[in-house]
Amino acid sequence: MEPVIQVRDLVKQYPGVRAVDGVSFDIPPGICFGLLGPNGAGKTTTVEIMEGVTSPTSGHVLYRGEPLGARFRAEAGIQFQKTALQDFLTVRETLVMFRRLYSHGRDVDDVIRLCALEPLVGRDNRKLSGGQLQRLLLGIALVNDPQVLFLDEPTTGLDPQARHNFWDLIRAIKAEGRTVLLTTHYMEEAYFLCDVVAIMDRGKIIAEGPPSRLLKEHFDDVVLELPREDFGIDPATFPLPVLLAGDRVEISTADVELALRALLDRGIPVRHLRIRPRNLEDLFLELTGRELRT
């Protein structure tokens, strides 16, 4: 199946820094593609080039086999990381204004319902909370009934409840067969929403594939987490690898029984023990040695 978007050898050079360094990937239709990485990894620059609002130094992006142009602008829905809207306009007026910029699209009432904006339709844009504004920006991105939807860190700054509501919205949109490109530095979000992820660091793609496959390829163990105050011994004397992570201690092992015995033999309480599978954050640390949210 022909990719919806093809990214080839993208380079973006700013004075003194190469923000994007030879990035290439394809996005097949109907999936949610996650572009992950810490702040400054180059993911927003990459996405802005893909959206056609920033020019690359070299390389190119194709939409359905064509250079980005009028067709792309008509069929793409974009939610930027930060967008200010016009003052003194209501939510409905803003959606109507953007809807009229496209020759084809969704009914505005349909967008209002999909994004749960009904209670806000008459509210001035300036009086929206962070979560409400994000829902409106998503609504704006949907007014043209886009074939491909770009979401650049859409849940940054939202509280957990608003974030989960937003995830439900994205899943509903994905269920309609839209292609979604999502950038985030929340690994839980990427794991929950994305069919394929590409991890960026220092302007390059360092891993790409379905999250479960990537984790399987790189890990065959699980992590035992304990409060640091409960561990109480020198990590070097413990027979398994121990990582001190803030106020927690993480023990990596493929043999949970062996690890539990080692803990109990040393009188370490396991009342607060938590066993978790490896996640994308672990993968990023494994690949780069850097924290994702730096």
Partner 1 sequence: MNLRRMLAIWSARNLEFLRDRSTLVFNVVMPLALVVAFAVIFGGQPRSLFKIGVLAPPGAALDASLHPFLGTRYADFYAVAPAELAAAIRTVERHQSDLLIDLQGAPRYWVNADSPKGYLAEKLLLESAGAVAKREPVTGAAVQYVDWLLPGILGMNMMFSCLFGVGYVVVRYRKSGFLRRLSATPVTAVEFGAAQILSRLMLTVSVSVLVYSALALLIPFRNNGSWFLLLVTAMLGAMCMISLSFMVAARFTSEELANGVINLVSWPMMLLSGVWYSLEGAPRWLRIVAEIFPLTQMLEAARAIMLDGAGIADILPRLAALVAMTAVFLGIAGASFRWRPG
Question: Does 47 sit near partner 1 (CB under 8 A)?
Answer: no
Query: Residue 39 interacts with partner 1 (CB under 8 A)?
Result: no
Contact 278, 219 (CB under 8 A): yes
In the bound state with partner 1, the residue whose beta carbon lies nearer, of 78 and 215, is 78
Instruction: Find where tokens 């974009």 sit.
Output: 78
Choice between 4 and 197, CB closer to partner 1: 4
Three-state DSSP string of 63-100: ECCEECCHHHHHHEEEECCCCCCCCCCEHHHHHHHHHC
Asked if residue 85 binds partner 1 (CB under 8 A), the reply is yes
If one counts every other C-beta atom within 10 angstroms of the C-beta of residue 94, the result is 21
Angle at 75 between CA 25 and CA 24, to 5 degrees: 10
Place of tokens 């180059």: 42
Q: Report the nearest approach of partner 1 to the CB of residue 132 (Å).
A: 17
Q: Does 145 bind partner 1 (CB under 8 A)?
A: no
10 Å CB burial of residue 288 (0-12, 13-18, 19+) is middle
Query: Which stretch, 74-82, 193-201, 230-238, 261-269, contacts partner 1 (CB under 8 A)?
Result: 74-82
Regarding 52 and contact with partner 1 (CB under 8 A), the answer is yes
User: Minimal distance in Å, beta carbon 211 to partner 1?
Assistant: 28
Footprint of partner 1 on residues 98-117 (CB under 8 A)? 98, 100-103
User: Taking a C-beta distance cutoff of 8 angstroms, is the pair 200, 206 a contact?
Assistant: yes
Q: Does 234 bind partner 1 (CB under 8 A)?
A: no
Least Å distance, CB 18 to partner 1, is 19
CA 204 to chain centre: 16
- Please choose, from the candidates 183, 181, 180, 202, the residue with its C-alpha nearest in 3D space to the C-alpha of residue 22: 202
180 binds partner 1 (CB under 8 A): no
Does position 17 bind partner 1 by CB under 8 A?
Answer: no
Out of 21, 26, 93, 225, which residue is the one contacting partner 1 (CB under 8 A)? 93
- Per CB under 8 A, residues contacting partner 1 are 51-53, 70, 73-74, 76, 78, 80, 82-89, 93-94, 96-98, 100-103, 140, 144
